[in-house]
């Protein structure tokens, strides 16, 4: 590819120069001249003039003068356009250039030296993305085998940069068309579509860049509390008796869990929005059983609709001309699980409304959440496992017509937006939960995500950390991989390590493929069952902290799972640490297989969440609290229907100034009353004064916690801790 042409030319000249010089002078002249002419043509005659628009909040817009807004509007990523600044001077230190190279439109950014690059969304590999090339063309990528994992299920044309002094920048290529990104001495975006604009954010820290990205792309909606619990899934749990058995065993063995998932085998012959008459004859009764035992249920819906007259979903869609067309304007037919399928054209407003309406009856049987899968869209028996680039989308009031080359990368995003709206209409008093496999930058507004069909291997366990971190650094805070690995068979040791760490992913779900061994927490013997139980007990006691972080993310866009350099972006070692990670700013997670990794400076003290001791444990990661932090915990529970803040534990770790601070957000956990002020935002402050520690409780917003709330205050020292119990309205003074 042309991205690496300069590098290849330099090395080629060094290697070939001596070899060819004496042998054939003319051949040397040809070798040198042809590439030089190529680069001269690209950098001069095909270089495009630029329109630069400085905006407020340190954002700069760059447009090539041949930019055609009809080829890109509406923007799928940017929902809040930056406001033009009164200052017309471009103060950005990043230099942007546009050019045509063959059939490609190219944007190159000169970024300076010693820059670490992150982001780029869902991709396999190291946390630091320098030196990588990746393709933005969403694909069904089983086991990440295609393109070495550099092309997966989602596309995020976004790069986060970090300079030596800790300052940061972010770059958005506002383009949905098929594209590639090369991260070398420059950042290069190369698109097969029309020329596109680039947005550059420049800030003093990566946290400020993430907040600004959130202002541009929007934030997640506050999820229901139950979705932060543990999810158990398999391809597939059926019949309904097995679903109930999984739920019963979770409760019998006291393993915390909130959600059981239904993959495609619940359907009648894989027809979406149907239920198998033999295996799931009464889905409402199944859901009622789960609800009675403290579980929610999530059921899968794919985009491929069986092309079959008499099937109500097909007939209703066909009546409004809902389908994607081929190049000859006939309905495109592609094979997926049901056989010959048609695919909704989500660029049409009427199709989105029709699709959303299908959820009314579906949700009425007690379904709690929806899993949109196969929405790259995946199509079997094709060269690239999807529909042709030349397929046609009709468009509507909000989106113009265009080829699939334009809409492929946002097909899944359009689907989950329509799904979410339909679910909200069906259940207006409940917060929706949607999980998607395919998405695009900004799609976090509509759905959580997981990292697709990974392998049951230690390699993919370790690589799940930088994958989740880079997704988090690309604006998607609600993410995580399949715990245990999807493809293949987990060993007891692998599952033990994975569930121990997986309890701390923002989205925590175990999943396994059809034909694999059972991969429930009790499937690997009593030792791993106990590891699973303790790991999930840790997560559930931390739910007040997790929920507070998700509320923060819904307001500011800050990730829930964070790289260590968020603690100190000037620390070179932290910038490359990809095994240890932070949950929020206050909790450090150190997996047992990464105990030699870097940690931030300062007195990070080891803590126990539920009486466990991780110090010499084979599987449980060490957890350390930031000096100066206060972590809120709830009582031990097995599902979120038991969640209560009647008793609240505060882990307090004083810093060198003998102070600490923490925040708690609480509401009903579902519904929308919080939007009308029915919530509590509480700040806890601790300070050692003489021979005592004073704790204060301040209500920042909303209403106070119940005056019956008790506080178990645990002061964390280097080798010990002390616990004192108070009513929340007491004057809290703890003698040392």
Distances (CA, A) of 584 to 122, 224, 657: 20, 19, 22
Integer Cα distance of 76 and 210 in angstroms: 18
CATH number of the domain to which 92 belongs: 2.60.40.1760
Nearest one of 259, 277, 257, 258 to 267, comparing CA atoms: 277
SS3 labels along 450-502: ECCCCECCHHHHHHHHHHHHHHHCCCCCCEECEECCCECCCCHHHHHHHHHHH
CATH at residue 318: 3.20.20.80
Give the angle subtended at the CA of 421 by the CAs of 415 and 423, to the nearest 5°.
100
pLDDT on residue 46: 54
| CA–CA dist 411, 177 (Å, integer) | 11
Q: Tell me the C-alpha distance between 208 and 203, whole Å.
A: 6
443 and 410 housed in the same domain:
yes
Q: Which of 153, 182, 217 is the endpoint of a domain?
A: 217
Residues 132 and 32 in one domain: no
- Catalytic position from the list 122, 180, 376, 417: 376
| Long-range contacts of 148-152, Cβ-Cβ distance < 8 Å, separation of 24 or more | 148/124, 149/123, 149/124, 149/125, 150/123, 150/124, 150/125, 152/122, 152/123, 152/124, 152/451, 152/452
Burial class (CB in 10 A: 0-12, 13-18, 19+), 68: exposed
202 lies in the same domain as 68: yes
CB-count exposure of residue 26 (10 Å: 0-12, 13-18, 19+): exposed
Burial class (CB in 10 A: 0-12, 13-18, 19+), 655: middle
Does 265 fall in a domain?
no
Nearest alpha carbon to residue 119 among 108, 109, 130, 107: 130
463 in a domain, yes or no?
no
32 and 84 both lie in a single domain: no
**Same domain as 720, residue 681:** yes
A 10 A CB-CB count for 698 gives: 11
Q: Is residue 495 part of a domain?
A: no
> Which pLDDT score is estimated for 383?
87
Per-residue pLDDT of 580-625, as tens digits, reads 999 999 999 999 999 899 999 999 999 999 999 999 999 999 999 9
Q: Are residues 22 and 132 in the same domain?
A: no
Last residue of a domain, one of 152, 185, 217: 217
Domain membership of residue 732 as a residue range: 644-736
Residue 429 annotated to the active site: no
What is the domain-level CATH number for residue 713?
2.60.40.1180
Residue 594 in any domain: the answer is: no
Task: Name the domain count of the chain.
Answer: 4
Q: Are 332 and 190 members of one domain?
A: no
The reply to whether 373 belongs to the active site is yes
> Mean of the pLDDT values across residues 210-230?
98
Structure tokens at 391: 């397929």
Which of 418, 450, 482 is a domain's end point? 450
Q: Report the C-alpha gap between 15 and 682 in whole angstroms.
A: 65
Set 212, 373, 529, 577: catalytic member: 373
Is 192 designated active site? Answer: no
Question: Mean pLDDT over all residues of the chain?
Answer: 93
Other residues' Cβ atoms within 10 Å of the Cβ of residue 552: 19
Does residue 426 form part of some domain? yes
Domain assignment of residue 648, yes or no: yes
Q: Is residue 151 part of a domain?
A: yes
- 129-186 confidence digits (pLDDT tens): 999 999 999 999 999 999 999 999 999 999 999 999 999 999 999 999 999 999 999 9
Q: Using 50, 70 and 90 to split pLDDT, how confident is the model at 720?
A: confident
pLDDT of residue 47: 66
Q: Which tens digit of pLDDT belongs to each residue from 537-558?
A: 999 999 999 999 999 999 999 9
Using the 8-state DSSP alphabet, how is residue 263 labeled? Answer: -
What are the tokens at 241?
């008796």
Please check whether residues 319 and 380 belong to one and the same domain: yes
Domain match, 195 and 59 both: yes
Same domain, 65 and 210: yes
Residues 308 and 388 in one domain: yes
Residue 242 lies in a domain: no
Residue pair 233/263 in contact (Cβ under 8 Å)? The answer is yes
State the Cα–Cα distance between residues 458 and 464, nearest whole angstrom.
10
- Which residue among the candidates 453, 529, 552, 667 is catalytic per the annotation? 453
Do 6 and 92 belong to one domain?
no
């Amino acid at each position: 590819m042309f991205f690496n042409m300069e590098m290849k030319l330099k090395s080629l000249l060094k290697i070939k120069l001596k070899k060819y010089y004496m042998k054939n002078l003319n051949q040397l002249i040809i070798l040198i001249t042809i590439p030089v002419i190529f680069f001269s043509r690209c950098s001069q005659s095909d270089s495009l003039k630029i329109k630069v628009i400085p905006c407020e909040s340190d954002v700069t817009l760059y447009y090539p003068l041949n930019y055609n807004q009809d080829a890109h509007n509406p923007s799928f990523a940017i929902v809040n356009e930056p406001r033009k600044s009164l200052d017309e001077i471009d103060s950005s230190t990043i230099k942007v250039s546009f050019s045509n190279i063959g059939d490609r439109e190219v944007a190159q950014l000169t970024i300076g030296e010693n820059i670490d690059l992150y982001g780029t969304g869902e991709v396999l590999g190291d946390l630091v993305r320098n030196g990588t090339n990746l393709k933005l063309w969403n694909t069904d990528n089983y086991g990440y085998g295609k393109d070495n994992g550099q092309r997966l299920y989602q596309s995020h044309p976004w790069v986060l940069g970090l300079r030596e002094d800790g300052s940061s920048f972010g770059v958005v290529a506002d383009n949905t068309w098929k594209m590639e990104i090369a991260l070398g001495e420059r950042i290069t975006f190369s698109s097969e579509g029309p020329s596109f604009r680039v947005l550059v954010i420049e800030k003093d820290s990566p946290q400020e860049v993430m907040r600004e990205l959130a202002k541009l792309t929007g934030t997640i909606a506050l999820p229901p509390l139950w979705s932060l619990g543990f999810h158990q899934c398999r391809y597939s749990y059926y019949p309904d008796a097995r679903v109930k058995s999984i739920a019963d065993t979770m409760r019998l063995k006291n393993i915390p869990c909130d959600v059981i998932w239904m993959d495609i085998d619940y359907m009648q012959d894989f027809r979406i929005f149907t239920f198998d008459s033999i295996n799931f004859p009464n889905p409402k009764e199944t859901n009622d059983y789960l609800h009675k035992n403290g579980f929610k249920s999530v059921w899968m819906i794919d985009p491929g609709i069986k092309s079959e007259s008499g099937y109500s979903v097909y007939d209703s869609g066909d009546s409004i001309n809902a389908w994607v067309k081929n190049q000859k304007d006939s309905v495109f037919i592609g094979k997926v699980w049901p056989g010959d399928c048609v695919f909704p054209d989500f660029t049409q407003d009427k199709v989105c409304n029709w699709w959303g309406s299908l959820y009314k009856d579906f949700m009425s049987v007690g379904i709690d959440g929806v899993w949109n899968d196969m929405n790259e869209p995946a199509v079997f028996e094709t060269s690239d496992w999807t529909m042709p680039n030349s397929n046609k989308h009709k468009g509507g009031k909000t989106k113009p017509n265009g080829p699939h080359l334009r809409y492929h990368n946002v097909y899944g995003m359009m689907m989950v937006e329509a799904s979410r709206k339909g679910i909200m209409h069906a259940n207006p008093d409940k917060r929706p939960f949607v999980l998607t496999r395919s998405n695009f930058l900004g799609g976090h507004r509509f759905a959580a995500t997981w990292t697709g069909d990974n392998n049951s291997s230690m390699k993919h366990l370790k690589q799940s950390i930088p994958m989740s971190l880079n997704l988090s650094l690309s604006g998607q805070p609600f993410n995580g991989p399949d715990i245990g690995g999807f493809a293949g068979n987990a060993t007891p040791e692998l599952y033990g390590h994975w569930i121990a760490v997986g309890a701390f992913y923002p989205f925590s779900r175990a999943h396994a493929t059809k034909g694999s061994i059972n991969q429930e927490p009790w499937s690997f013997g009593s030792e791993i069952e106990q590891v699973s139980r303790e790991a999930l007990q840790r997560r559930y006691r931390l739910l007040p902290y997790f929920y507070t972080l998700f509320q923060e993310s819904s307001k500011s866009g800050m990730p829930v799972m964070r790289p260590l350099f968020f603690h100190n972006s000037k620390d070179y070692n932290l910038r490359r640490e990809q095994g240890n990670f932070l949950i929020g700013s206050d909790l450090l997670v150190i997996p047992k297989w990464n105990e030699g990794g870097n940690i931030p400076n300062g007195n990070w003290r080891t803590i126990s969440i539920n009486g466990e001791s991780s110090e010499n444990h084979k599987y449980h990661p060490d957890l350390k609290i930031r000096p100066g932090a206060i972590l809120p915990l709830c009582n031990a529970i097995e599902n979120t229907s038991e969640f209560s803040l009647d008793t609240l534990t505060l882990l307090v770790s004083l810093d060198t100034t003998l102070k600490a601070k923490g925040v708690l957000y609480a509401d009903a956990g579902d519904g929308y009353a919080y939007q009308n002020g029915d919530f509590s935002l509480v700040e806890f402050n601790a300070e050692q004064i003489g021979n005592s520690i004073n704790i204060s409780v301040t209500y920042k917003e909303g209403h106070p916690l119940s005056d019956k709330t008790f506080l178990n205050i645990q002061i964390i020292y280097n080798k010990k801790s002390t616990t004192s119990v108070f009513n929340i309205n007491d004057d809290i003074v703890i003698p040392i």
